[in-house]
Amino acid sequence: MELNAKIPPGPLKDKWSFYKDHAKLVNPANRKKMDVIVIGTGLAGSAAAASLAEMGYNVKSFCFQDSARRAHSVAAQGGVNAAKNYKNDGDSVYRMFYDTIKGGDFRSREANVYRLAECSAQLIDQAVAQGVPFGREYGGYLNNRSFGGVQVSRTFYARGQTGQQLLLGSYQALMRQVAAKTVKLYTRHEMLDVVVIDGKARGVIVRNLDTGEIERHSAHTVILATGGFGKIYYLSTLAMGCNASAIWRAHKKGALMACPSWTQVHPTSLPQSGDYQSKLTLMSESLRNDGRIWVPLKPSENRKPNDIPESERDYYLERRYPAFGNLAPRDISSRAAKERIDAGFGVGPQRNAVYLDFSKAIKEQGKGRIKEKYGNLFDMYRKITATDAYVEPMMISPAAHFSMGGLWVDYELMTTIPGLFALGEANFADHGANRLGANSLLQACVDGYFIAPYTVSNYLAGEIKSERVPIDHQAFIDAEVQVRAQLSKLLEINGTKTADYFHKTLGKLLYDYCGLSRSKEGLIHAINEIKKLRADFYKDLKVPGDEDEMNGELEKAGRIGDYLEVAELMCLDALTRDESCGAHFREEYQTPEGEALRNDEKFCFVSAWKWRGEGQEELLIPEPLHFENVELAVRSYK
């Protein structure tokens, strides 16, 4: 199988314009006859649903939350990037493109990344028009701050709640279309399978989470905007509901999965405080603009942070990466923190944290200015820890966060199943092996507002003569039978262990062997242990209740069952990549200084994986990466 990324011809800066100029169109009268299904109501999903409905398509929008505005995009805090060069500090579309390519350790497509940077300026204008309350300077101009991996200020922000404010904008656009009856919104519905007819995505099977009813919905195209799967680690910055099931069920129907082992560990989370926790709290990376990260010079230090003099502190990021300091990229910053913690210099009750100190910034700028920029984050920290970070340093620790991997998509964001698109974090497209901060909100918005309306229409132009598929088609019947069989299988096990037990066990396995660092020996061990855990899952799982009722444990069990398969592929993907790049750090491949050692000669490709059936190892299909506009270089932030 050969992968075709469908990258348009011509110079890099003209590719997206060329595509838009030559994309096929659907006239307004025909749009009314065409149905679109969008799964997910986060930034990518709500933006796509609202935009396509505004164009005249009939849209069905699904989410498993009780409200579309509860999507996990609300959790993104620090900001959204755009190459507007408001600070006149040398920023440009090309520089943002290069920062993103470099930040991803040269493992992403040039064309996709350049389009992301190119569309970024439009997004800010769109968001302002929607009323997003971005931070402003005294004179009224939009303000910017820096994020990790860059040396310019291109991040637009709404204090520490940028994701929530952007989502409110897209939510309002979505609900406007709901009121206009161009979007039919299905809350508390979870997609359990994609229906493929004649090789094309033509519908979905969903479960009503309030009643347990299984429903069939057909359409001319299906869009998955279901977010990432970082929650596979159990303890992560993601909400408990985040999962991989939608993209995994699509994968098993023929959509390739790309680079699943590229999962990001965020450097500024609150540390774990006990076994009772089900998630960790993210503190925005924007705090690294003014906060300085350090650990005591003496291991097992027992003094309070304010009692430790400057001469006895190790500002290790400033020491190791002087050019970027505390704004080193996430993968590098997280590994550096883990190295200090593992070496015995960790702080806090469990010695699993480092300090993030604002004393210098408060002294230079004043408490009022720091409060203006990060006030709600400081408030959140105080409520959780009972510590005033204006007076005493925060304690932070690395935590599983973002999935750079996801469904393989081409330039049009279409998977290897024609008619099935994947947007936002559900696809692998823009971030390579490591995502730069504030690019996730950007990608989700750009995919939904500016890319999908063109590419989905281009596909639908070839489907105008396709009749609506009746939901009593045999493919729908077969898919529903399969879904019901899986639900019954989970209920009939009637073992002794909860879904959470398996999730916790799996998460620890992955964090230990396929987390911040990996090794051949550890990955082989993890794969064997995951297979044993999966066998135990289908032998000793306990799911109380029934299928035809509200059943949260049944929902969780289905997602954990998928996670156990995703986890095995994550480890296999990491095992086959004999190099260190971005978030993928193989202990066997590092420089004498402990930095990542990339192998461009053998591994300059995207790892796309094909499902070959139950019990069979997946097939690796590489997509070679070609760099015509940047020179591959050792990534250095020193």
DSSP for 172-240? HHHHHHHHTTSEEEE-SEEEEEEEEETTEEEEEEEEETTT--EEEEE-SEEEE-----GGGGSSBSS-T
| Residues 250, 417: Cα–Cα separation, whole Å | 9
Alpha-carbon radius of gyration of the chain: 24
| Residues 463, 68: Cα–Cα separation, whole Å | 29
Which residues lie across from 313 on neighbouring strands? Answer: 296
3-state SS string over 48-92? Answer: HHHHHHHHCCEEEEECCCCCHHHCHHHHCCCCEECCCCCCCCCCC
Which residues are CB-contacts of 342 (< 8 A; sequence separation ≥ 6)? none
**Which residue out of 216, 320, 330, 598 is catalytically annotated?**
330
| Residues 305, 584: Cα–Cα separation, whole Å | 33
| Residues 9, 58: Cα–Cα separation, whole Å | 32
| Residues 222, 238: Cα–Cα separation, whole Å | 25
CA distances from 27 to 56, 452, 630 (A): 9, 17, 39
Active site residue 330: yes
Q: Tokens 């994986």 sit at which residue?
A: 609
DSSP assigned state of 131: T
| Residues 319, 358: Cα–Cα separation, whole Å | 18
| Residues 430, 93: Cα–Cα separation, whole Å | 15
CA distances from 190 to 125, 272, 364, 502, 586 (A): 33, 30, 50, 21, 36
Nearest-5° Cα angle at 233, 228 to 234: 100
| Residues 204, 301: Cα–Cα separation, whole Å | 56
Half-sphere exposure in the Cβ direction for 78 (13 Å, CA) = 25
Strand, coil or helix: 106: coil
| Residues 604, 431: Cα–Cα separation, whole Å | 14
| Residues 412, 109: Cα–Cα separation, whole Å | 13
Task: Count Cβ atoms below 10 Å from residue 327 Cβ, excluding itself.
Answer: 20
Element (H, E) at 335: helix 330-340
Strand, coil or helix: 415: coil
Half-sphere exposure in the Cβ direction for 428 (13 Å, CA) = 29
**What are the respective helix, strand and coil percentages of the chain, to the nearest 5?**
40, 15, 40
Closest to 257 (Cα-Cα) out of 593, 570, 467: 570
3-state SS string over 458-476? Answer: HHHHHHCCCCCCCCCCHHH
Nearest-5° Cα angle at 448, 444 to 451: 110
CA 96 to chain centre: 19
Which residues are CB-contacts of 101 (< 8 A; sequence separation ≥ 6)? 108, 110, 113, 432, 630
Please identify every residue annotated as catalytic: 330
